[in-house]
Amino acid sequence: MVNHLVLEINVKTADEEDEKLEQLTDSWQIRLCEAGCGSWDSDPNRVANFLQKEGNEKLGLNIPIDIDHITRQLRTADARIKEKHQSLISTRNASSSSSYSSSSHPGLEWRRLFIRRELKKSDMCDHQNRLSMPCSQVDEGALTAAEVKTLRQKKWVAAEVVDPQGRRYGVNLRRTMAGTKSCSYAIGKPWNDIKKDNGFKQGMKLEVWALRGKSGKLFFHLTSLP
């Protein structure tokens, strides 16, 4: 894990440092929004790499930065920046061919891209019966604080999957650890039924959209890509 990162810049005051960190957060968040995502990527290595590149090339920072500390600061600014760039997220959402949108379904509060990924061999394994989604790639902002807390306690969260044909399946969302650093979210049973009903194969590209009902219920809409 990256503990410290030295960025070569001159920062005269704490206020100037905060302003530069805000610019850095802004730049990172714009990239996520343009990609169709809406939350901060919590992978410390990605944070470090981004800070090094953006800080050196664009902001000229020159202070030692504790990754844990700066990540907390960036997360604090995240909600404001997501609101600022909501138009970018909305534009990306509107371009999708998905029929499950908040506008076409009044019972939905919003929808946002949770993850876009290629189906792996493990996703096709009947014994595992789950769709795995690496934590570093998902938009965790689609989950409520209560849901995140429940999942981190190794419990499951009830949700509903809507497949490309509009069929609905009750599922459990879980969060699992692989070692001490790597984690994944998983859509569990009846994933085997979902993949068979839709003819999903290894190597296919899939978008998983998170939708929130007005009642607070969590939905995931699956969209297969060419």
Same domain assignment for residues 21 and 120: no
CATH number at 164 reads 2.40.330.10
Residue 23, pLDDT score: 59
Confidence class for position 154, pLDDT limits 50, 70, 90:
confident
* Within-domain flag for 198: yes
Same domain assignment for residues 11 and 79: yes
Residue 194, pLDDT score: 96
Same domain assignment for residues 138 and 197: yes
Same domain assignment for residues 15 and 116: no
Q: CB neighbours of 89 closer than 8 A, spacing ≥ 6? A: 33, 36, 37, 38, 82, 112
* Within-domain flag for 24: yes
Same domain assignment for residues 18 and 74: yes
Residue 38, pLDDT score: 40
**One-letter identity of residue 20:** K
Whether this prediction's pTM lies above 0.85 is answered by no
Helices (H), 103-181: 145-152
* Top-confidence residue, 78 or 145: 145
CA distance 219 to 8: 45
Same domain assignment for residues 115 and 189: yes
Same domain assignment for residues 128 and 71: no
Same domain assignment for residues 171 and 198: yes
CA distance 162 to 205: 16
Whole-angstrom CA distances from 81 to 52, 130, 138 are 21, 33, 18
Residue 18, pLDDT score: 53
Q: CB neighbours of 45 closer than 8 A, spacing ≥ 6? A: 1, 2
pLDDT tens-digit readout, 73-130: 555 545 554 454 444 444 444 444 344 554 445 455 667 888 998 999 999 999 889 9
* Top-confidence residue, 58 or 135: 135
Residue 179, pLDDT score: 66
* Within-domain flag for 95: no
131, 191 Cβ separation under 8 angstroms: yes
Last residue of a domain, one of 67, 88, 109: 88
pLDDT tens-digit readout, 169-225: 999 999 988 766 778 899 999 999 999 999 999 999 999 999 888 788 899 999 988
Same domain assignment for residues 65 and 106: no
* Ordered DSSP codes for 35-66: TT--S----HHHHHHHHHHHIIIII-EEEEEE
Same domain assignment for residues 79 and 130: no
Report the percentage of the chain scoring pLDDT > 70: 50
Whole-angstrom CA distances from 65 to 29, 45, 95, 153, 158 are 19, 13, 38, 30, 39
Quote the domain boundaries for residue 143: 101-225
Residue 16, pLDDT score: 57
